[in-house]
Structure 1
Amino acid sequence: MIFHVVPGPQWTGAGPGPYAPASLAAEGFVHCSADLASALAVANARYGDAPAPLVLLSVDEAALSAEVRWEGKGQAFPHVYGPIEREAVVAAAELRREAGGGRWVGP
Protein backbone atom coordinates (compact mmCIF):
# COMPACT_ATOMS: atom_id res chain seq x y z
CA MET A 1 0.00 0.00 0.00
CA ILE A 2 1.22 3.49 -0.87
CA PHE A 3 -0.39 6.82 -0.02
CA HIS A 4 -1.09 10.08 -1.82
CA VAL A 5 -2.28 13.35 -0.25
CA VAL A 6 -4.52 15.54 -2.39
CA PRO A 7 -6.65 18.62 -1.72
CA GLY A 8 -10.25 17.45 -1.45
CA PRO A 9 -11.60 19.56 -4.33
CA GLN A 10 -8.95 18.17 -6.68
CA TRP A 11 -9.94 14.60 -5.83
CA THR A 12 -13.71 15.09 -5.94
CA GLY A 13 -13.51 17.33 -9.02
CA ALA A 14 -11.28 14.99 -11.00
CA GLY A 15 -14.24 13.17 -12.51
CA PRO A 16 -14.35 9.55 -13.60
CA GLY A 17 -11.37 7.76 -15.00
CA PRO A 18 -7.76 7.75 -13.86
CA TYR A 19 -6.56 10.45 -11.48
CA ALA A 20 -3.78 12.57 -12.97
CA PRO A 21 -2.64 15.46 -10.73
CA ALA A 22 -0.69 18.43 -12.07
CA SER A 23 2.60 16.88 -10.91
CA LEU A 24 2.19 14.12 -13.50
CA ALA A 25 2.29 16.65 -16.35
CA ALA A 26 4.88 18.90 -14.70
CA GLU A 27 7.30 16.29 -13.32
CA GLY A 28 6.31 13.08 -15.04
CA PHE A 29 5.12 11.26 -11.91
CA VAL A 30 2.68 11.32 -9.02
CA HIS A 31 4.27 11.87 -5.59
CA CYS A 32 3.31 9.22 -3.02
CA SER A 33 4.39 8.16 0.46
CA ALA A 34 5.34 4.78 1.86
CA ASP A 35 3.33 5.04 5.09
CA LEU A 36 0.87 7.18 7.01
CA ALA A 37 3.58 9.01 8.99
CA SER A 38 5.33 10.09 5.77
CA ALA A 39 2.03 11.11 4.19
CA LEU A 40 1.17 13.27 7.20
CA ALA A 41 4.64 14.86 7.10
CA VAL A 42 4.01 15.76 3.44
CA ALA A 43 0.55 17.11 4.30
CA ASN A 44 1.98 19.36 7.00
CA ALA A 45 4.97 20.51 4.94
CA ARG A 46 3.13 21.14 1.70
CA TYR A 47 -0.42 21.90 2.83
CA GLY A 48 0.13 23.28 6.34
CA ASP A 49 -1.92 26.40 5.67
CA ALA A 50 -4.43 24.83 3.29
CA PRO A 51 -7.98 25.89 4.10
CA ALA A 52 -9.55 23.11 2.04
CA PRO A 53 -9.89 19.59 3.36
CA LEU A 54 -7.19 17.13 2.40
CA VAL A 55 -7.84 13.57 1.29
CA LEU A 56 -5.51 10.65 1.93
CA LEU A 57 -5.66 8.07 -0.86
CA SER A 58 -4.63 4.51 -0.01
CA VAL A 59 -3.39 3.01 -3.26
CA ASP A 60 -2.82 -0.67 -3.99
CA GLU A 61 0.55 -0.49 -5.72
CA ALA A 62 0.03 -3.91 -7.34
CA ALA A 63 -3.22 -2.72 -8.98
CA LEU A 64 -1.55 0.16 -10.84
CA SER A 65 -0.76 -0.19 -14.52
CA ALA A 66 1.86 2.59 -14.29
CA GLU A 67 5.40 1.91 -13.14
CA VAL A 68 6.19 2.70 -9.50
CA ARG A 69 9.77 3.68 -8.69
CA TRP A 70 11.09 4.12 -5.15
CA GLU A 71 13.32 7.17 -5.37
CA GLY A 72 14.94 9.78 -3.20
CA LYS A 73 17.98 10.55 -1.12
CA GLY A 74 17.89 9.12 2.36
CA GLN A 75 14.27 8.04 2.60
CA ALA A 76 12.86 6.58 -0.62
CA PHE A 77 9.43 7.72 -1.76
CA PRO A 78 7.22 5.89 -4.26
CA HIS A 79 6.69 7.79 -7.50
CA VAL A 80 3.95 6.62 -9.86
CA TYR A 81 4.92 7.23 -13.49
CA GLY A 82 1.42 7.50 -14.86
CA PRO A 83 -2.12 8.20 -13.72
CA ILE A 84 -3.65 6.41 -10.75
CA GLU A 85 -6.58 4.23 -11.75
CA ARG A 86 -9.54 4.66 -9.44
CA GLU A 87 -9.77 0.88 -9.09
CA ALA A 88 -6.33 0.97 -7.41
CA VAL A 89 -7.59 3.41 -4.75
CA VAL A 90 -8.81 1.18 -1.94
CA ALA A 91 -9.68 4.05 0.43
CA ALA A 92 -10.07 7.83 0.33
CA ALA A 93 -10.23 9.35 3.82
CA GLU A 94 -10.45 13.01 4.73
CA LEU A 95 -7.58 14.15 6.93
CA ARG A 96 -8.36 16.10 10.08
CA ARG A 97 -6.48 18.75 11.98
CA GLU A 98 -5.52 18.86 15.62
CA ALA A 99 -7.88 20.86 17.82
CA GLY A 100 -7.70 24.55 17.10
CA GLY A 101 -6.69 24.11 13.45
CA GLY A 102 -3.21 22.75 14.10
CA ARG A 103 -1.30 20.08 12.26
CA TRP A 104 -2.84 17.47 10.00
CA VAL A 105 -3.08 14.34 12.12
CA GLY A 106 -4.84 11.74 10.04
CA PRO A 107 -8.20 10.38 9.08
Structure 2
Amino acid sequence: MSFTYHMVPCEYFEAQSQDKPYRPEPMVAGREEFIHCTDGEQNLADTGNRFYKGDPRPFYALLLDLEKLTSPFKYEDNARIFPHIYGALNREAIIAVLPFPRAEDGTFLPPA
Protein backbone atom coordinates (compact mmCIF):
# COMPACT_ATOMS: atom_id res chain seq x y z
CA MET A 1 0.00 0.00 0.00
CA SER A 2 1.03 3.58 -0.63
CA PHE A 3 0.13 6.34 1.79
CA THR A 4 0.12 10.10 2.06
CA TYR A 5 -1.10 12.62 4.63
CA HIS A 6 -3.29 15.72 4.55
CA MET A 7 -3.56 18.10 7.50
CA VAL A 8 -6.79 19.88 8.37
CA PRO A 9 -8.15 21.93 11.29
CA CYS A 10 -10.20 19.57 13.49
CA GLU A 11 -13.22 21.88 13.56
CA TYR A 12 -13.36 22.09 9.78
CA PHE A 13 -13.06 18.33 9.24
CA GLU A 14 -15.66 17.56 11.93
CA ALA A 15 -18.12 20.02 10.34
CA GLN A 16 -17.94 18.21 6.97
CA SER A 17 -20.69 15.76 6.09
CA GLN A 18 -19.39 12.23 6.59
CA ASP A 19 -21.49 10.92 3.70
CA LYS A 20 -19.99 13.30 1.12
CA PRO A 21 -16.46 13.55 -0.28
CA TYR A 22 -14.10 15.77 1.72
CA ARG A 23 -13.14 19.14 0.22
CA PRO A 24 -10.72 21.47 2.04
CA GLU A 25 -11.56 25.12 2.70
CA PRO A 26 -9.56 26.59 -0.23
CA MET A 27 -11.23 24.19 -2.67
CA VAL A 28 -14.71 25.05 -1.39
CA ALA A 29 -13.91 28.75 -1.65
CA GLY A 30 -12.77 28.30 -5.27
CA ARG A 31 -9.18 29.40 -4.56
CA GLU A 32 -7.63 26.01 -5.37
CA GLU A 33 -8.54 22.95 -7.40
CA PHE A 34 -6.49 20.43 -5.46
CA ILE A 35 -5.87 19.02 -1.99
CA HIS A 36 -2.38 19.49 -0.55
CA CYS A 37 -0.71 16.32 0.69
CA THR A 38 2.69 15.36 2.04
CA ASP A 39 4.68 12.17 2.31
CA GLY A 40 6.11 11.02 5.61
CA GLU A 41 5.39 12.01 9.17
CA GLN A 42 8.39 14.33 9.52
CA ASN A 43 7.53 16.21 6.33
CA LEU A 44 4.00 16.66 7.65
CA ALA A 45 5.26 18.22 10.91
CA ASP A 46 7.58 20.48 8.89
CA THR A 47 4.66 21.50 6.67
CA GLY A 48 2.49 22.29 9.68
CA ASN A 49 5.21 24.45 11.18
CA ARG A 50 5.79 26.23 7.89
CA PHE A 51 2.18 27.04 7.01
CA TYR A 52 0.32 27.05 10.34
CA LYS A 53 2.87 28.46 12.77
CA GLY A 54 1.03 30.43 15.44
CA ASP A 55 -2.38 29.00 14.51
CA PRO A 56 -3.83 27.88 17.85
CA ARG A 57 -6.47 25.54 16.38
CA PRO A 58 -6.05 21.79 16.86
CA PHE A 59 -5.36 19.84 13.67
CA TYR A 60 -5.81 16.31 12.38
CA ALA A 61 -3.54 14.40 10.05
CA LEU A 62 -5.62 12.36 7.61
CA LEU A 63 -3.80 9.19 6.62
CA LEU A 64 -4.80 8.37 3.04
CA ASP A 65 -4.52 5.10 1.12
CA LEU A 66 -3.50 6.11 -2.41
CA GLU A 67 -4.84 2.88 -3.87
CA LYS A 68 -8.36 3.81 -2.74
CA LEU A 69 -8.37 7.36 -4.17
CA THR A 70 -10.89 8.09 -6.89
CA SER A 71 -9.44 11.53 -7.80
CA PRO A 72 -6.07 11.85 -9.56
CA PHE A 73 -2.98 12.02 -7.33
CA LYS A 74 0.23 13.44 -8.71
CA TYR A 75 3.44 15.30 -8.17
CA GLU A 76 3.69 18.40 -10.34
CA ASP A 77 7.31 17.67 -11.28
CA ASN A 78 10.34 15.92 -9.86
CA ALA A 79 11.47 19.01 -7.97
CA ARG A 80 8.27 19.15 -5.89
CA ILE A 81 8.16 17.07 -2.78
CA PHE A 82 4.50 17.64 -1.98
CA PRO A 83 1.86 15.86 -4.05
CA HIS A 84 -1.71 16.95 -4.73
CA ILE A 85 -5.08 15.24 -5.13
CA TYR A 86 -6.98 16.81 -8.03
CA GLY A 87 -10.59 16.71 -6.97
CA ALA A 88 -12.52 15.81 -3.85
CA LEU A 89 -11.28 13.14 -1.47
CA ASN A 90 -13.50 10.09 -1.30
CA ARG A 91 -14.06 9.01 2.31
CA GLU A 92 -13.03 5.40 1.64
CA ALA A 93 -9.45 6.60 1.07
CA ILE A 94 -9.24 8.05 4.61
CA ILE A 95 -7.93 5.14 6.63
CA ALA A 96 -7.10 7.06 9.83
CA VAL A 97 -7.78 10.43 11.40
CA LEU A 98 -4.77 11.06 13.63
CA PRO A 99 -4.32 13.68 16.33
CA PHE A 100 -1.61 16.12 15.33
CA PRO A 101 0.37 16.76 18.54
CA ARG A 102 2.33 19.88 19.39
CA ALA A 103 5.26 20.64 21.63
CA GLU A 104 4.83 23.04 24.54
CA ASP A 105 6.00 25.90 22.32
CA GLY A 106 3.19 25.18 19.82
CA THR A 107 5.30 23.60 17.07
CA PHE A 108 3.85 20.56 15.33
CA LEU A 109 5.26 17.10 16.00
CA PRO A 110 4.82 14.01 13.80
CA PRO A 111 1.24 12.65 14.08
CA ALA A 112 0.47 10.22 16.88
Relative to the length of structure 1, the TM-score reads 0.89
Cα separation, 2, equivalents of 1:51 and 1:77? 24
Task: Give the distance between the partners of 1:67 and 1:74, measured in 2 at CA.
Answer: 19
Residue 101 (structure 1) shift: 3.1
Higher strand share: 1
Structure 1 runs not aligned, ≥5 long: none
Q: For residue 105 of structure 1, give the secondary structure of its aligned residue in structure 2.
A: coil
Paired position in structure 1 for 2:48: 43
TM-score, normalisation: structure 2: 0.86
Cα distance in 2 for residues equivalent to 1:72 and 1:97 = 31
Partner of 1:23: 26
User: CA-to-partner distance for each residue in 1:25-80, whole Å, 9 max, x for gaps?
Assistant: 32210000011111111111111111111100000111011001112563432100
Match of 1:102 among 91, 94, 106: 106
Distance in 1 between residues matched to 2:70 and 2:38, nearest whole Å: 18
With over 3 angstroms needed to count, the CA separation of the structure-2 counterparts of 1:18 and 1:57, relative to structure 1, is same
Aligned to 1:8: 10
Q: Is the 8 A contact 1:23 1:31 kept in 2?
A: no
Superposed CA deviations along residues 77-106 of structure 1, whole A, max 9, x for unmatched, are 2100011111100111111111x2331112
**What is the total number of aligned residue pairs between the two structures?**
106
Aligned-residue identity in percent: 27
CA RMSD of the aligned region, Å?
Answer: 1.5
Gap runs ≥5 in structure 2: none
- Given that 2:33 and 2:87 are in contact with CA atoms closer than 8 Å, whether structure 1 keeps it comes out as yes
